[in-house]
Amino acid sequence: MNVWIHVEDPGAANWMVSLVPELDRRGHRTALVADGIAVTYLADRGITPSAAFAPEEANFVLTGTSENLRSRGLDEIGNARRRDIPSGAVVDQAVNAAHRFSGGGPDALAFAPDMIFVPDDAARDAFTALGLSPSRIAQVGNPHHDWLRRRRSELQGLDRTALRQRLFPKADPARAIVLFVSEIGYVVNPEAAQWTAENRFHGRGGDTFRSAVVLEELLDACAILPDQPQVVLRLHPKNTEAEFAAYRGELAAMSASGDPLEAALAADLVIGMTSALLEDAWVIGARVMAVLPRPEEKFWLQPVGKDLIPAAGDRSELRRVLPEALTAQPAPPTAQPGTAAARIADYIERGAPA
């Protein structure tokens, strides 16, 4: 088969790290087309995008949903419909289900493909609530998590002291490191402008950018602890250092390149909001903690929603939970690596629900 694939964002690109080799192993031709940040993101993981054939030559079109509401991937889903060939899309989280296939219009499912591959029941329920038939939703697990579980023992065998010195050479070796995982200042959800008013964290009263507000809260919470943990900022691939220039003097480091999993293991605690990297860090056995600016965000990441990751919903909770999280036992290994990529490949081959 000729499987034409398009990705733009890191979440979907992560799935292709396992799925493209699985399709190749089965003897199928894959044309992986990447736009935006996904180009370098895939290259860092050993996957080189290659347009081996045009979408018009495909037997199956597969896309990754994107923050770009007018992504080329949506156009190719429409083209696949017109050519009467099957299409699918991978969705890494439940969040923003109503906008992933809207194309910027009022119909949440205007560009929905024949099958949507989701990792968990939260994402499945989000699409069924929009009216998508359950027969068009395949809950396959997360191939990226399968890959993370295979890497866990390798990563945990690293010398943390040497890793910390290499990644954060200016950090004080006598003080704990809290790695704060940032998010971009804009999101696919057009209602995100309302989130500021609903935010239960207020920072220092100046900035309204979510990540900056929570970073201010975290810096102030660390400053009042007896051992004063130091904060390292891990930038989202779409962040710029300039967005956080005002905090440079308060940070032990800004981390933007290299393996984010190594940065997570080098830290004593990883803190984030709804970033997939927070869940990744939990899977590989790092200490983690979530900050939830709004109550409904608790259910955007499965381990947070299931209370497997401690969370704070306001300033007082942050200051209470932070010292506990710094000394908590990391999560034990989760289930052995599964076959999420194989389940997606099975569907592509059969043209039936996975």
Q: Provide the pLDDT for residue 199.
A: 79
Sequence-distant (≥ 6) Cβ neighbours of residue 353 within 8 angstroms:
115, 135, 136, 138, 347
Q: 115 exposed, middle or buried (CB, 10 Å; 0-12, 13-18, 19+)?
A: buried
Domains 2-141+338-350 and 152-327 share a fold: yes
Helix (H, G, I), strand (E, B) or coil at 310: coil
The backbone torsions φ and ψ at residue 236, rounded to the nearest 5 degrees and listed phi first, read: -65, 150
Contacts of the segment 120-125: beta carbons below 8 A, 24+ positions apart: 120/94, 120/302, 122/94, 122/299, 122/300, 122/302, 122/305, 123/91, 123/93, 123/94, 123/97, 125/94
Cα separation, 350 vs 338, in Å, equals 20
Q: Provide the pLDDT for residue 93.
A: 87
Q: Provide the pLDDT for residue 261.
A: 93
Token representation of residue 46: 């050993």
Q: 2-141+338-350: which CATH architecture? A: 3-Layer(aba) Sandwich (3.40)
Which residues in the chain show pLDDT less than 50? 352-354
Q: Provide the pLDDT for residue 32.
A: 94
Q: Provide the pLDDT for residue 67.
A: 74
Cα separation, 186 vs 133, in Å, equals 30
Q: Provide the pLDDT for residue 189.
A: 57
Task: Write down the domain spans for the chain.
Answer: 2-141+338-350, 152-327
Q: Provide the pLDDT for residue 187.
A: 52
**Is CATH 1.10.357.10 what the domain over 152-327 is classified as, yes or no?**
no
Q: Provide the pLDDT for residue 19.
A: 94
Q: Provide the pLDDT for residue 353.
A: 47
Token representation of residue 337: 């690596």
Q: Provide the pLDDT for residue 116.
A: 97
